[in-house]
Amino acid sequence: MNAAFNSKSDDTPRTLSEPTLDERLEIAARVSAAHFEVMLDHIAYLPPEGQNLVHQAWQYADKAHTNQWRSSGDPYITHPIAVTTICAHWKLDASALMAALLHDAMEDCGITKQDLAAKFGPVVADLVDGLTKLDKLHFNTREENQAESFRKMLLAMAKDIRVILIKLADRTHNMRTMGDMPRSKWGRIASETLEIYAPIAHRLGLNQTYRELQDLSFRHLRPWRYETLQKALTKSRARRRDLVQRVQQDIDAEFDRLSMPIRIAGRENTLYSVYQKMLRHHLSFAQVTDIYGFRIIVPTTTDCYTTLGVLHQMYKPVPGKFKDHIAIAKSNGYQSLHTTLVGPSGVSIEFQIRTEAMHIVAEAGIAAHWLYKAQGGQDTLNTKWLQSLLDIQTETNDATEFWDNVKVDLFPDSIYVFTPKSKIMAMTRGATVIDFAYAIHSNVGHHAVSSFINGEPASLRTELKSGDVVQIVTDENANPNPVWLGFVKTGRARSKIRNYLKTAAHSESMVLGETLLTQALREEGIAAIPDNEEANQALWAEVLLKAKSKSREDLLTDIGMGHQAAGWVARHFMAQLVSQGQRPNAVLLSQERFSSAGKISQSTVVLDGSNNSSVRYAPCCRPVPGDPVMAYLGRGDGLQVHHAQCVNAKRLQATDSERLVPVEWAEDGNQKLYDSGVSVTIHNQKGVLARVATELSNANVDIRRLEMDDEAAMQTMELRFILSVHDQQHLEAALRALRRITTVVRANRILPTE
C-alpha cells in the first residue's frame, strides 16, 4: 500500500538517504516497471502510437521521481501509475494519461512547463500545469458557506475537463491509500474530499467516484462509526442473502419466459448513504430498509418501460415511489426508472431500470464521453445528455472547447478569487482589480492605489482570473480616478466611482465659488461673504431669489462651475446692502485697488495640483509650476489655467476678461506631477528613440504619451511628448538633457504663441 496526499505539506515525496540506497533504488526501478506492466493491460484501447507516448511519459516521470517515496515506503512513481490506471478506466486519451503520469513532476521535481512542452508538446504541458495550479488551492473548512464557491472555482479554473478528471483520480487514489498516512492528517483531507471533490464528481455525473469518495471520507472522518456500521451491514447482508437470491432467480425466470434479454445485478447502498439516512430520519440501522436493490439493464428505452410493467405484475409497487428519470433526466445526465416493490416476506426492494448507454452515463457521467468514443461510438445512443456531449465533441473535436461548451451549462459567467484571508469572492468574468476593491468595500475602492496578485505587483486595471489571490494597497490620500470608468466591469464599482466624482466635483466647485465670490465682494468693498446669521437672512433670501439658487451651497457651486458670474452676484449683494442703508467700506476699497496693482490678493485661487476636478490645465499650453499663469472661468466647466503667454489665453483676455480669475502656484514645492508638452526634432536614425527615452528617464521624467509622424523615410522627424514633471525647473532640466543628444536637432516646449 502507498499513501500520500496532494496538499503540499504532506504530499511532498520524502527522500530517504539510508545506507542501502543503491539497493533500494534498484528495487524501486523493478517495482515501477512491474506496476507499469500491469497498467499496460488497461490502456490497450489506445492506438500503438498512443501507448508508445504513454510509455515515454512513464520513463520520464520514473526518472523525475527517482529516490522519492510514499509514506508507505513504496517508490513514489507507483502513485502516478495508479492515478493513470484510474484515468484509463474512463478511457481517457493518450495526452490525459501522459499528464496523469506526470501530474506531480512539475511541483516536486523542479521540472518546468517549458521542459514538458519541449518533450511532450503543449497539450500535455498545459494539462500538467493546470493540475499544478489546482494543487496550490486549499480549501479552508473554517470559512463557512464557501464550499460551493470553492467547487465552482475549481471547475471554472480548469481550462480542460481532463484536468478535473485527473484531479479526481489523484484524489481517489490518495483516499484509497489514506491508511498509510498519519491519523492527524485524516480529518482535514477527508473533509476537503467530502465537501469539495465528492460533490464535483457528483455534479459531473461520475457517480461511482462520487460514492467511493464519500465512503472513503466517512471511513476516515468517523472511523469508529464506520466500522460499527460495516459490521452491522455484513450481518444483515448474510441475513438477506437468501431473499436476494430468490428475487433474482424469479426475475431471471420470468424474463426468460418472455424471451426478453436483461442483465440483472444486486446493488447495495454505500455506508455513507445509509449513515446519512439514519441521521436525516433519526433511524437506527435496523430501520433503514432500502439498503439492497437491483439494477436491470435492458437493450432499449422502450424495454425499460416494458420491464417496469413486468415487475409491477410480479410484485406489488409501493405507492409514491415510482420515478421516471428517463423522461426527465437529472441535470448531470443521470437517467433511469426507479420503483420500489414489496418483495417476498414483505421486504421492500428498490429497482433501477436503464439501458446500457444510460448505465455508462449513470456511473461515469462526463467521462462517458471518452468511454463511448473508445467503444467505437455506435449510434445506438438513446440518452439525450450523452448525445449532446457527443454532438459537441464531433463539432469541435477539441477537449478544451468541449469543456468550454459544457461549462456554459454548468456555471454562470463568473470567476472566483481570494482575498488575502482566503475568503472567496465571486466576480463577473472580465472584472478588474478595481472591481474587486469595490466589491470588498467602497472605501477600499476609493483609496486603492495598487495591488498584488498572487504576490506579484499588478496594476489596478488588471483583469482577474479564477484562483487569483488579490491584495489591494490603499492610501488614505488617494481618490478615485475618472479613468477607472473606462475599464471597470461591475455596476457596483461604476456607480460608486461616479458618485464619488460627482460629490467631489461638487464640493471642489463650491470651494472655488467661495473664493471667487469673496474676491468679487472685496472689489465692491465688502470684506467677506455675509454669514447665515439671522441678521442676514433677508439679504440672502433676496440674493438667492435673484440668482434662482436654492441655497447658499448651490449658489457657491454654481459660481465655482461658471454657471453664475461672481461679479454679478456681488453687485446684487451690494445693491441689497445699500438699500438696507449700509455703506461700502472705503478703507477696504482702497486696499483692494492697491493690491490689484501688484500684490496678490487674499482671495486668489491657489493651484496646488489637488483640486483636480474644478481646475483644469489647458491642453494647448500645459502650464507647470513656475510658469506665469492666468485662469479663465469657463461656462459650466470650472477653471481653466493657461500659460500667460499662450495665444488662447491672450485671446480670452481680450474678448472675455470678465471671466478671468487671479491664480497663483502654491508656494511649498509640492510633489504633485504636471503634464507638459515637448516637441523633439531628431535625425531619423536607428535607436534614437530609445536614446531619447533613456535620457528622459535619467532626468527622472516620465513619458505620458508620445506622438510621431509616420514618415520613416524622412531625414528628420518630430516627436511630440507629454511629459510628467514637477515644475518649470524640472522641465528645463529635461530639455537640456534632450539637447545634449547628438541626434537631437532641437527640443522645445510646446506653447502656442502668436
H runs (alpha helix) in 65-103: 78-89, 94-101
Report how many residues bind Mn ion under the rule CB under 5 A. Answer: 3
Dihedral Cα 727, 731, 733, 734, nearest 10 deg: 140
How buried is 48 (Cβ within 10 angstroms: 0-12 exposed, 13-18 middle, 19+ buried)?
A: exposed
Give the range of 148-156, 170-178, 200-208, 337-345 binding Mn ion by CB under 5 A.
170-178
250 is catalytic: no
Residues 466/452, Cβ–Cβ less than 8 Å: no
DSSP 664: E
Interface with Mn ion by CB under 5 A: which range of 162-170, 186-194, 298-306, 619-627?
162-170
Residue 131 or 437 having the CB closest to Mn ion: 131
Please, what is the minimum distance in Å from the beta carbon of residue 67 to Mn ion? 17
Residue closer to Mn ion (CB basis): 167 or 220:
167
Which C-beta is closer to Mn ion: that of 106 or that of 512?
A: 106
Q: Cβ distance 752 to 720 under 8 Å?
A: no
Cβ 83 to Mn ion shortest distance, Å: 6
Task: With H, G, I as helix, E, B as strand and everything else as coil, classify residue 14.
Answer: strand
Select 12 or 716, whichever has its Cβ closest to Mn ion: 12
Choose one: 141-149, 167-175, 264-272, 652-660; the region binding Mn ion (CB under 5 A): 167-175
Position of minimal CB gap to Mn ion: 170
Could you give the CA distance from residue 542 to residue 126 in angstroms, rounded to a whole number? 75
- DSSP classification of residue 376: T
Sheet holding 639-643, edge to edge: 615-617, 639-643, 629-633, 660-661
Nearest to 334 by CA among 384, 269, 263, 375: 384
User: In terms of CB distance, is 101 or 569 closer to Mn ion?
Assistant: 101
107 is catalytic: yes
- For the bound state, the minimum distance from the C-beta of residue 671 to Mn ion, rounded and expressed in Å, comes to 53
Specify the residue, 97 or 417, whose C-beta has the smaller distance to Mn ion: 97
Give backbone dihedrals phi and psi of 16, rounded to 5 degrees, phi first.
-100, 130
CA distance 288 to 282: 10
Segment contacting Mn ion by CB under 5 A, of 115-123, 164-172, 324-332, 434-442:
164-172
Return d(Cα 301, Cα 357) in angstroms, integer.
10
Smallest gap from Cβ 391 to Mn ion, in A, equals 34
Among 170, 558, 627, 695, binds Mn ion (CB under 5 A): 170
Site string for Mn ion, 2-21 (x = CB under 5 A): ----x---------------
List 69's β-bridge partners, or say none. Answer: 14, 75
Cell of 705: 504619451
Rank residues 104 and 554 by Cβ distance to Mn ion and give the closer one: 104
Going through 621-701 in order, the beta strands assigned E by DSSP cover 629-633, 639-643, 660-661, 663-665, 674-683
Count of alpha carbons within 13 Å of 81, Cβ hemisphere only? 27
Least distance CB 75 / Mn ion (angstroms)? 14
> Of 168-176, 196-204, 362-370, 524-532, which segment contacts Mn ion by CB under 5 A?
168-176
The nearest distance, CB 428 to Mn ion, in angstroms, is: 33
| Minimum CB distance to Mn ion smaller for 62 or for 104 | 104
Instruction: Tell me the per-residue interface mask from 81 to 120 with Mn ion, x by CB under 5 A, - otherwise.
Output: -----------------------x----------------
Beta carbon of residue 692, minimum distance to Mn ion (angstroms, whole number): 54
d(CA 663, CA 603): 9
Identity of the residue, 131 or 392, whose beta carbon is nearer to Mn ion in the bound complex: 131
Q: Select which of 11, 104, 107, 468 is catalytic.
A: 107
Between 684 and 703, how does the x/- string for binding to Mn ion read (CB under 5 A)? --------------------
| Shortest spacing between CB 680 and Mn ion, in angstroms | 59
CB 509 within 8 A of CB 456: no
Which triple of cell numbers denotes residue 165?
478528471
Residue nearer to Mn ion on the CB measure, 170 or 695: 170
Choose between 110 and 636: whose C-beta lies nearer to Mn ion.
110
Kindly state the smallest distance separating residue 79's Cβ from Mn ion, in Å: 6
C-alpha radius of gyration, the chain, whole number:
39
DSSP state of 435: H
Which three-class secondary structure state does DSSP give residue 327? coil
Cβ closest to Mn ion, residue 2 vs residue 340: 2
Return the bridge partners of 705, or none: 722
Catalytic one of 11, 108, 215, 554: 108
Kindly state the DSSP code that residue 642 receives in the 8-state scheme: E
Q: Please name every residue paired with 728 in a beta bridge, in sequence order, or none if there are none.
A: none
Q: Is 616 helix (H, G, I), strand (E, B) or coil?
A: strand
CB 517 within 8 A of CB 569: yes
Q: What is the DSSP letter of 183?
A: G
> Looking at beta carbons, which pairs linking 127-130 to residues 24 or more positions away fall under 8 Å?
127/95, 127/96, 127/99, 127/160, 127/162, 127/163, 127/166, 128/99, 128/102, 128/103, 130/157, 130/158, 130/159, 130/160, 130/163
C-beta of 6: minimal distance to Mn ion in Å? Answer: 5
Residue 700 is placed in which grid cell?
527622472
Q: Which stretch binds Mn ion (CB under 5 A): 163-171, 254-262, 361-369, 571-579?
A: 163-171
* Contact assessment for residue 496 and residue 438, using Cβ atoms and an 8 Å cutoff: yes
Supply the residues annotated as catalytic. Answer: 107-108
Residue ranges binding Mn ion (CB under 5 A): 6, 104, 170
